[in-house]
Amino acid sequence: MPTLAEQGEKSRVTQETFNVFVSDKLDASGLRFLEQTNGIRVSNKPGLKGQELKDAIRGADAIIIRSETKVTREVIEAAVRLKIIGRAGVGVDNVDLEAATKRGIIVMNTPEGNTKSTAELTWSMILALSRKVPQAFVSLRQGEWKRSQFTGAELYRKAIGIIGFGRIGREVARFAAAFGMKVVVYDPFISAESVKQVNVTFAPLNDLLKQADYVTVHTPLTPETTNLIGKEQFALMKKGVRIVNCARGGIVNEEALLSALNEGRVAGAALDVFIEEPPKKDNPLLQHPAVIGTPHLGAATVEAQENVSLEVAEQVVDALFGKEIRNSVNIPSLDAESARVLRPWAVLTEKLGLLQAQLFEGDVKRVEIRYSGEVTAYKMAPLTAAFLKGLLSPMCGESVNFINAIPTARERGITIDESTTTATEDFANAVAVHVTTSSGTYFVMGTLFGNKEARIVRIGDYDMDAIPHGTVLAVTNDDKPGFIGEIGTILGKNGVNIAEMTLGRRQEGKTAFAMINVDGNVPAKVLEEIRTLKKVQAVKIVRF
């Protein structure tokens, strides 16, 4: 397979232009850049769906989307010349990444364009919530003058808890300092040492919730952050706390929030996002007098739309002409020969990162990754980037990708130590990773079966032969007769099918470790039932 640069060079010789199809409404700044670029032909037809969309993109070399267009497997198969999918925004959940990757199509997003707009909306919400501005205005329009009903709260010397300390979280903290607030931060993938210039206090999530007068979330919606703030978390909070969510619906459990509002524990909530968008008119949160809301306006500023529009247009053009690939979410930048050999290894290392992030505890401090065998004849940086993408994704979501994973990790204070050895050790080719966190050092090793299928061959001291795919139950248990039967019975009676299972143990009759691949998901009640088994020491769900 030729490199993108070689494809671009060939295309410049054999065709007059690259065809770029814009399928969603894009700000004029991006369209203007495309139209003024030599060698680019633009087709701007937002709103097409179904067969019309398939027909329109058949000859496209690149497609630019926002959130409305669904780039399904069928759409990708119809676009026979497609090389690039550019998303003007962060989320790429409307793109079939697996189908795109299989075709060698680069999917890229624009993770930085709406940082300031979202941070500013967060502060608009905090101020409006504190002083009851929307409720007071509604009362005033009704001809009332009920000043005593709208007594608010000052921000000065209050504690704000920021959950997620990426670009937006840091911008929110910067504003908080101007209001004289105490800033408490929870982010397991950022070390306090990496942000010494910011006057914040790092704390575990539960400690943050106990201290905060305001809680604002700035994480992506992932399996790990879904319902991150629920009934148990609200029970830890101060009476009178205020909640702000301008990130993603579902991070704050809406049912638990409503209960906390009705009980008086939460004094008010400001929501820009909802589990269901648009929310139903009779959504009880929208009817609650202590709730204010907006219709997902985080990136809805003139400047943010200009930024993401121009950014995605520039990225697409640079990639088409073989200059540079920025913000790829699915494919490391590799030459053809390296791509052929290393892409299966990139899949493996990303899954090793996902395993580390979901299985082990603590704030990540250091990553030591060692490559052994014939694979070391190639550049290792793309594989290290893939591992870090997997490690950071549960908390950072789509803002971390193959291109920015290494600098993102370093920005968060994670030390990266990469080494190679030609010694084959236990496996002809392998990747071994030690991750040091605030709770300890954890070890995993992986290899490829048949040079293409990823396998986890060691977790800690346990030898394994686990398939990193789908949903996996990771169980630490007493090595005693009957364990497999007991856990199988629980899963079976709840309709959860076991697809694969691998077991490892250090010594007969001591402690064992199991990786159990299951079809579909494992409901929370089933997980709790497994935890009650006497032989089970710990159980976690790992999603690959």
Active-site annotation holds for 296: yes
Element (H, E) at 146: none
Residue of 242, 296, 370, 412 marked active site: 296
Cα–Cα distance, 100 to 27 (Å, whole number): 25
* Residue 36 CA: distances (Å) to CA of 7, 41, 113, 271, 359: 22, 9, 22, 40, 50
Name, in order, each residue with C-beta under 8 angstroms of 282's C-beta and a sequence gap of 6 or more: none
Structural contact between residues 435 and 366, judged by C-beta atoms closer than 8 angstroms = yes
Under DSSP, the state recorded for 385 is H
Residue of 52, 232, 277, 324 marked active site: 277
At 14, is the secondary structure helix, strand, or coil?
Answer: helix
* Residue 338 CA: distances (Å) to CA of 102, 185, 342: 16, 41, 6
| Distance from the first to the final alpha carbon of the chain | 27
| 240: Cα within 13 Å, side-chain hemisphere | 8
Cα–Cα distance, 77 to 82 (Å, whole number): 9
Structural contact between residues 472 and 517, judged by C-beta atoms closer than 8 angstroms = yes
Structural contact between residues 95 and 102, judged by C-beta atoms closer than 8 angstroms = no
- Describe the chain by its helix, strand, coil percentages, rounded to 5: 40, 25, 40
Active-site annotation holds for 218: no
Active-site annotation holds for 469: no
Cα–Cα distance, 384 to 342 (Å, whole number): 11
Under DSSP, the state recorded for 428 is S
Residue of 87, 167, 242, 248 marked active site: 248
Question: Across the strands, what pairs with 198?
Answer: none
At 457, is the secondary structure helix, strand, or coil?
Answer: strand
Pairing status of strand 291-293 against strand 266-271: parallel
What sign does the dihedral 130-136-138-141 (CA atoms) show? negative
Structural contact between residues 64 and 23, judged by C-beta atoms closer than 8 angstroms = yes
Q: Where in the sequence numbering do the catalytic residues fall?
A: 248, 277, 296
